[in-house]
């Protein structure tokens, strides 16, 4: 077998932007991350749920208004042509 073929597996630190430090083992001595389990909204309970049903309802209301306006315009045009 060749000597020094495998990388060194040493103690490592994972540092988060919120200053949380996690001790683990890795081939890299340190890793910087942007979000961890301490500051992630899902784990902290500050997660906001998107109201997709409300968005669909709003879209359907706008579509109904648009269709009603188009129908009214078509009626007005048809009346104008008859006169």
Task: Establish if 69 belongs to a structural domain.
Answer: yes
Task: Establish if 3 belongs to a structural domain.
Answer: no
Segment holding 71, helix H or strand E: helix 52-82
Number of compact structural domains in the chain: 1
Task: Establish if 82 belongs to a structural domain.
Answer: no
Tell me how far CA of residue 68 lies from CA of 30, 62, 63, 76, in angstroms.
62, 10, 9, 12
CATH of the domain at 17: 4.10.80.400
pLDDT at 35: 87
Q: Which domain holds residue 62?
A: 10-76
Q: pLDDT tens across 16-62, in order? A: 988 899 999 999 999 999 888 888 877 777 777 666 667 888 888 99
Task: Establish if 81 belongs to a structural domain.
Answer: no
pTM exceeds 0.85, yes or no: no
Among 28, 27, 30, CA closest to 9: 27
pLDDT at 27: 93
């Amino acid at each position: 077998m060749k000597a020094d073929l495998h990388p060194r597996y040493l103690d490592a630190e994972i540092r988060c932007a919120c200053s949380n430090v996690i001790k683990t083992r890795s081939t890299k001595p340190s890793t910087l991350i942007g979000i961890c389990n301490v500051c992630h909204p899902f784990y902290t309970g500050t997660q906001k749920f998107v109201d997709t049903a409300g968005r669909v309802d709003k879209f359907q209301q706008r579509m109904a208004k648009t269709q009603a306006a188009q129908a009214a315009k078509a009626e007005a045009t048809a009346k104008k042509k008859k006169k």
